[in-house]
Chain A
Amino acid sequence: MAGHAPCSAPLPGSLADPAPICAGAVCRPCPIALRPAPPAPNMAAPSVSCGAAVPYRLFLAGRVSFAREQGLWKAAASGLQTGTRCQILRLKHSPAVTTKKNVAALRRESYTVDFIKKQIEEFNIGKRHLANMMGEDPETFTQEDVDRAITYLFPSGLFEKRARPIMKHPEEIFPKQRAVQWGEDGRPFHFLFYTGKQSYYSLMHEAYGKVLHAEERQDQLRAKGLFSEKSKSKDPIGSRWLIKEELEEMLVEKLSDQDYAQFIRLLERLSALPCDAAEEEFVGRFRRTVTVQSKKHLIEPLQYDEQGMAFSTGQGKRKTANAEAVVYGHGSGKIEINGVDYLLYFPVTQDREQLMFPFHFLDRLGKHDVTCTVSGGGRSSQAGAIRLAMSRALCSFITEDEVEWMRQAGLLTTDPRVRERKKPGQEGARRKFTWKKR
């Protein structure tokens, strides 16, 4: 991947790289600004005169052909200038090592289609190698298997999940970039190019067109007397509008908050009108489902032992303590830990209060018997682990609402706090050495 200097010869045939939106070379064509590759590079004529001698490495629009003819000047001779400000005399050599750090270039690193393709091939080959290493079938090696293999081969203790090693398809790693939006003659493809936010405005235009269309239809229906109140069936179903980041990602261009608000308002207006299938589908593209189900974990069914007593197991962890609890229905409130009564095992009241919490929350203080085993950790973490295990086991005995209340009370969540490691140069995890002025 070569960074390119955003230099452009002031020469007439130059393919000046416009500063703002699209960096020159591209990896993927923008969905809206998709343009077919223009036929032959030799469309426009007087290209050759422009300093072909200077070996610029201009990576140009997403066309393989261009990539082949790197060093040469292209035919976009009619001088594309976004603003009228020509970049005059910005003849810059771009050797491999620049003395001045080119911040602008570093920001807009662009990837060639070639480069991306190469990455994809490498990724696929790597996936097959990985499958081979793990002893699995390369043909049926899914992304989940890849993730699992990577976590196995490169175990990382970092707390930040995004800092851990990953191996994903290049599409997910390299950011999406837009194709160059103008042709060889320098004319932009999209009619709204000069608005600056072409995809956004074209979307607004489309949506508004649909709104007008729907209103027209509504008027017609009303005129005919076949108008009926449309019931809103979309909102109650767990779905939500796209958020601004998602919309930006979809359009591959920056939006402002007001733009986003305007767009959502328009979509709401559209959805309020009687729509037909095409419009529903259009609106559906901008809704995402909110899965309530994902919050709930699976509820285990009750098991029954020999005497017919219902029981249920649960496991819990807290800070290196592991606990497993078996909760029996119809008990008398006895709790036995590792064969010892909980009164003897936890002489401290605080620990016993922790054990009491799930039952007290559900008002089932004297109704269940518990037998549990616990190992590891200290006094307090063992209490926390048992509490979690008991709550999870109790889930089988209670209604869904109560499970939801427990979840909101924090009884069903594993406490992620673990002991932070001590760093070199400091006395502890956070504490620094005493600072001495001299």
Chain B
Amino acid sequence: IMLKGMTRLVSRVHKAKHGEQHVGQHYNISIQELKTVFPHGLPPRFVMQVKTFNEACLMVRKPALELLHYLKNTNFAHPAVRYVLYGEKGTGKTLSLCHIIHFCAKQDWLILHIPDAHLWVKNCRDLLQSTYNKQRFDQPLEASIWLKNFKTANERFLSQIKVQDKYVWNKRESTEKGSPLAEVVEQGIMRVRNATDAVGIVLKELKRQSSLGVFRLLVAVDGVNALWGRTTLKREDKSPITPEELALIYNLRKMVKNDWQGGAIVLTVSQTGSLFKPRKAYLPQELLGKEGFDTLDPFIPILVSNYNPKEFEGCIQYYLENNWLQHEKAHTEEGKKELLFLSNRNPGLLERLCAYL
């Protein structure tokens, strides 16, 4: 039986009221919300932890707080601002992104969350030639999965937003102008062949309509450096494909350009899933490459670093409370110092280390 309630040392704070003094403390997300807001997008280890502890707790950290502050003060009349979270491996970029997403979801924004752009540029089994544009390639599987998750995340918006163009899928099916976006999404899920095009349509519509001010749009892409790197996919004649030739990537690039208003773009660059990038690269310039950097150029970089001592303490306390650290020395000062040294306060490493204890 876990200790619940007031005896908890780690306090849970209401997320809207996050402030500077809450750094290092965890806040709770109920499982219900988790299913709605994050059908995809949480790192797999975190999902396992959630399953183990039966609750989802994110730590409040400075980079996230900074971003939240900016988001709260955004002027929606201006073009969307781009924020790039960068940092070494395992410092918590993805989880910070999830924090932002959760906040925005609570504030009733429309979340456009691509969990990992790297998944779209590698290991694709079936590439079809795009129906819309002969030069490009479709990825039906990935697109349909994403559409499913998108639907779960943003159910309530899909019925409200109306499509402003007529789209003909094939001889028999078409979507009329003015029909809800849900139909497009349904079409994409049913007809896997048109899934990629459905995604393209969704992105275009959302971009167009968020400028109108009906809703606020948050574009969150994890691993955005995949959009401008190389892919491991090849055509039938074994010649490599550049990312532009993938329809999904092409549309996403359009999304990430800041030529629309009424929302914000939060991006993460990560080396972990990246292709052909050295292990030690973590700066946006290195990971995005020249092209990507130029495209994204006016952006606000936010460094996500290892835990500071307070956060580290908080994390250890959280594990101890959930009886996760079984080693007898884990409670003692020396144990903590050892963990500190071994993980050098890197959250990912700490989590992996504690998994053994």
A contact residues vs B (CB 8 Å cutoff): 333, 340-344, 349, 352-353, 356, 359-360, 363, 365-366
Q: How many residues of B sit at the interface, in one of the four size bands?
A: 10 to 19
Contacts of B88 in A (CB 8 A): 343-344
Chain A CB within 10 Å — which of B88, B338, B341 has the most? B341
Q: How far is the CA of A341 from the CA of B342 in the complex (A)?
A: 12
Q: Which 10 pairs show the lowest CB-CB distances between chains A and B?
A: A365-B337, A343-B344, A356-B341, A352-B342, A365-B341, A344-B280, A343-B346, A366-B337, A333-B341, A356-B342
Tell me if B353 is interfacial: C-beta within 8 Å of chain A.
yes
Question: How long is the Cα–Cα vector from A341 to B91 in the complex, in angstroms?
Answer: 14
The residue of chain B having its C-beta at the shortest distance from the C-beta of A366 within the complex is B337
13 residue pairs A–B, Cβ–Cβ below 8 Å:
A333-B341, A340-B280, A343-B88, A343-B343, A343-B349, A344-B280, A352-B341, A352-B342, A356-B338, A356-B341, A356-B342, A360-B341, A365-B341
B302 contact set on A, CB distance < 8 A:
none
Q: Are B342 and A353 in contact (CB under 8 A)?
A: yes
- Cα separation A365 to B344 with both chains bound (whole Å): 12
Q: Is B334 an interface residue (CB 8 A)?
A: yes
Looking at the assembled complex, report how far the CB atom of A365 sits from the nearest CB atom of chain B, in whole angstroms.
4
Contacts of B338 in A (CB 8 A): 356, 360, 365
Known: A340-B280, A343-B349. A366 touches B344 (CB 8 A): no
Q: Mark B202-218, 1 if CB is under 8 A from A, else 0.
A: 00000000000000000
CB distance from B92 to the nearest CB of A (A): 14
Identify the interface centre among B343, B344, B346, B349: most chain A CB within 10 Å of its CB. Answer: B344
Query: With A and B bound together, what is the CA distance between A360 and B339 in angstroms?
Result: 11
- Chain A residues near B280 (CB-CB < 8 A): 340, 344
Query: What is the predominant secondary structure among interface residues of chain A facing chain B?
Result: helix
Tell me the nearest residue of chain B to A356, going by C-beta: B341
Q: How far is the CA of A365 from the CA of B340 in the complex (A)?
A: 9
The answer on a CB contact under 8 Å between B342 and A349 is: yes
CA distance A72 to B341 in the complex (A): 85
Q: Report Cα–Cα, A365/B337, bound state, in Å.
A: 7
Instruction: Report B330 CB to chain A, min CB distance, Å.
Output: 15
Q: How far is the CB of B357 from chain A (nearest CB, A)?
A: 12
B344: chain A residues at CB < 8 Å are 341-343, 352
User: Given that A344-B88, A344-B280, A349-B353 are known contacts, is A366 also in contact with B340, CB under 8 Å in the complex?
Assistant: yes
B334 touches A366 (CB 8 A): no
* Complexed CA–CA distance, A340 and B281 (Å): 12
Task: Give chain A residues whose Cβ lies under 8 Å from the Cβ of B340.
Answer: 333, 365-366
Cβ contacts B316-357/A at 8 Å (1 or 0 each):
000000000000000000100110111110100100010000
Give the residues in chain A near B337, CB-CB below 8 Å.
Answer: 365-366
Cα-based distance from A333 to B344 in the complex (angstroms): 9
Cα A342 to Cα B346 in complex, Å, equals: 12
- A359 CB to closest chain B CB, in angstroms? 7
Q: In the complex, what residue of chain A is closest to B90 when comparing beta carbons?
A: A343
